């Protein structure tokens, strides 16, 4: 019998495009180092934008940072500290656009990189949709694995809040 798998979320998509091991740890509710500087910065940004009237919007499959309508166009905005995780941020936003599409709402995305003070428009194309659906399918497979994928050194390891889980013995 297959065990229950919670629905894939935007956060799952974000981790998927960074590190499959980190994704597995998150899916299995293994908490990162809460004292990690990057975790604290993320919390600060979330609090900062939340206190300025820019509350998150819960859409079931995740929480988007901001939803706005400009000249009749629905814009889903995702706010990130920097463009360091640009691909993962882009696919997280594409996932939210896909969720809106399933609800019958046509929307475009806007990635905002706070430190760089710049924005980037994101649209759900057929090519992006296909890559997104493959990612969702792979996330479900990773979630079913009894152990995490082996650690793999990537450029993000040094600042990862999970680095102790992967590299404590080195």
β pairing state of 73-80 and 107-113 = parallel
- Residue 90 in this model has a pLDDT that exceeds 90: yes
The pLDDT confidence band at residue 169, using thresholds 50, 70 and 90, is low
- Over range 79-108, report the average pLDDT: 92
Mean pLDDT in the chain?
Answer: 83
Residue 67 CA to residue 110 CA, distance in Å, equals 10
Residue 28's φ and ψ, nearest 5 degrees, are: -100, 20
pLDDT for 39-77, tens place per residue? 455 555 555 554 444 567 777 777 878 888 889 899 999
CA neighbor of 18 nearest in space, from 6, 32, 7: 32
Token pair, residue 49, equals 């934008």
Q: How many other CB atoms are found less than 10 A from the CB of residue 161?
A: 19
Q: Record the pTM.
A: 0.82
Domain definitions of the chain by residue range = 10-167
**pLDDT at residue 168, rounded to an integer:** 72
Q: Which CATH architecture has domain 10-167?
A: Alpha-Beta Complex (3.90)
CA neighbor of 82 nearest in space, from 38, 20, 32: 38
DSSP tag of 101: H
- Over range 76-102, report the average pLDDT: 92
CA neighbor of 39 nearest in space, from 155, 157, 162, 148: 162
């Amino acid at each position: 019998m297959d065990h229950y798998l919670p629905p894939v979320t935007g956060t799952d998509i974000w981790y998927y495009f960074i590190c499959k091991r980190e994704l597995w740890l998150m899916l299995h509710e293994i908490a990162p180092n809460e004292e990690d500087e990057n975790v604290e910065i993320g919390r600060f940004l979330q609090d900062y934008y939340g206190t300025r009237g820019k509350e998150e919007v819960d859409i079931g499959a995740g929480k988007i940072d901001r939803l706005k309508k400009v000249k009749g166009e629905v814009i889903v905005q995702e706010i990130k500290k920097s463009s360091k995780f640009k691909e993962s941020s882009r696919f997280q936003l594409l996932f939210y656009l896909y969720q809106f599409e399933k609800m019958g709402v046509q929307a475009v995305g806007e990635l905002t990189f706070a430190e760089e003070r710049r924005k980037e428009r994101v649209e759900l194309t057929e090519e992006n949709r296909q890559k997104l659906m493959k990612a969702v399918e792979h996330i479900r497979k990773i979630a079913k694995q009894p152990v995490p994928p082996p650690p793999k050194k990537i450029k993000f390891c040094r600042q990862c809040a999970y680095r102790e889980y992967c590299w404590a013995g080195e």
